[in-house]
């Protein structure tokens, strides 16, 4: 896993990925107490950064392998990313999704042309279902984060931030990244190491599902005690990946954990002041910057990812209620 793989992914993604802007946010600066810029990956194709990694992985497959089809398991954002990337490559896609995934994510995954297989996340193993389907149909598994070509694709966001920050004269900043298994955080950290050494990737997670934050503090991989119960469905993973963790240990952190209530409030601020739709898991980095100033000390400049915007209307309405 190295910077050359990220650069190669950027070349494959050129013309297919959206270069999302880097937006300053004067009305958020005052709340955060420092300068804040936003990287709205909710505006990426399929509504999250996951399209980058999915397209990178699909485009790296040999054509005869890709033609047989791909399979992924995901609560939604990776699912949609793989579904659209597969459609763009003319390859069939099967997505294994928990039956309690947000309805919007299931509907959109189908809308991108993928076959969706639902499972019960309390009684069934998505790995078993995926392995069986892969074996019987000759499908290639696209893992959500612990896969070099996926990490390389996510790292292209880091290349963009490095370039955009340089154009704005930002040489030193914390870059807060919504973190599940660590694909985006590790890929981005590798891009910064090569292109913008004054930028530091810092993972943000939901409280109770802060496996990466705790693992980085402990110096070894720790698991989350549970897998359900956060509204931040997009970034709840059992533990950091075997590939992503050593990269994060070398280049990223410390992590920051926020509450579900803070994530909802951050969504409301994104609505009010940025006109962006963030999903709960996509708003944890913004919540960290707005509500945890102690985690940033005297850092003057912070760049915040909004990693996704695939949220059902009822959850979004709950976020808007925090404005009353």
Which residues form the interface with a copy of itself (CB under 8 A)? 18-21, 23, 26-27, 40, 42-43, 45, 47, 84, 104, 108, 111, 268, 271-278, 309-310, 313, 316-317, 320-321, 323-324
DSSP for 134-201? HHHHTPEE--SSSSHHHHHHHHHHHHHHHHHHHHTT--SEEEEEE-SSSHHHHHHHHHHHHH-TTEEE
11 vs 317, beta carbon nearer a copy of itself = 317
Q: CB 42 → a copy of itself: shortest distance, Å?
A: 4
* Phi, psi at 58, each rounded to 5°: -60, -45
26 vs 225, beta carbon nearer a copy of itself = 26
SS3 state of residue 270: helix
217 vs 313, beta carbon nearer a copy of itself = 313
Q: CB 232 → a copy of itself: shortest distance, Å?
A: 17
Q: CB 76 → a copy of itself: shortest distance, Å?
A: 13
Question: How many angstroms separate the CA atoms of 264 and 64, rounded?
Answer: 44
61 vs 315, beta carbon nearer a copy of itself = 315
Question: How many angstroms separate the CA atoms of 270 and 36, rounded?
Answer: 13
11 vs 323, beta carbon nearer a copy of itself = 323
Question: How many angstroms separate the CA atoms of 38 and 45, rounded?
Answer: 17
Q: CB 20 → a copy of itself: shortest distance, Å?
A: 8
Cis peptide upstream of residue 254 (ω within 30 degrees of 0): yes
Q: CB 68 → a copy of itself: shortest distance, Å?
A: 24
């Amino acid at each position: 896993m190295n910077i050359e793989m990220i650069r190669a992914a950027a070349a494959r993604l050129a013309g297919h990925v959206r270069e999302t802007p880097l937006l300053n946010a004067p009305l958020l600066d005052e709340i955060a107490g420092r300068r804040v810029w936003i990287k709205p990956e909710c505006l990426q194709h399929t509504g999250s950064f996951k399209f980058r990694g999915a397209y990178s992985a699909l485009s790296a497959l040999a054509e005869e392998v890709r033609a047989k089809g791909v399979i992924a398991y995901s609560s939604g954002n990776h699912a949609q990313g793989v579904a659209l990337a597969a459609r763009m490559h003319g390859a069939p896609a099967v997505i294994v999704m928990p039956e309690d995934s947000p309805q919007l994510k299931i509907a959109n995954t189908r809308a991108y042309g993928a076959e969706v297989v639902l499972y019960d996340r309390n009684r069934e193993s998505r790995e078993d279902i995926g392995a069986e389907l892969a074996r019987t149909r000759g499908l290639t598994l696209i893992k959500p984060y612990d896969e070099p070509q996926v990490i390389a694709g996510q790292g292209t966001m880091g290349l963009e931030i490095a370039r955009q920050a340089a154009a704005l004269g930002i040489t030193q900043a914390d870059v807060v990244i919504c973190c599940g298994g660590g694909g985006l955080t590790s890929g981005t950290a590798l891009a910064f190491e090569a292109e913008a050494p004054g930028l530091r990737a810092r993972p943000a997670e939901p409280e109770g599902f802060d496996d990466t934050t705790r693992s980085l503090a402990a110096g070894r991989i720790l698991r989350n005690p549970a897998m359900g119960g956060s509204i931040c469905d997009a970034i709840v993973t059992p533990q950091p990946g075997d590939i992503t963790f050593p990269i994060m240990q070398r280049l990223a952190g410390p992590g920051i954990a926020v509450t579900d209530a803070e994530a909802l409030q951050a969504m409301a601020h994104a609505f009010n002041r940025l006109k962006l739709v963030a999903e709960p898991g996509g708003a944890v980095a913004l919540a960290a910057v707005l509500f945890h100033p102690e985690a940033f000390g005297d850092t003057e400049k912070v760049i915040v990812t909004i990693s996704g915007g695939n949220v059902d209307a009822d959850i979004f309405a709950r976020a808007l209620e925090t404005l009353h």
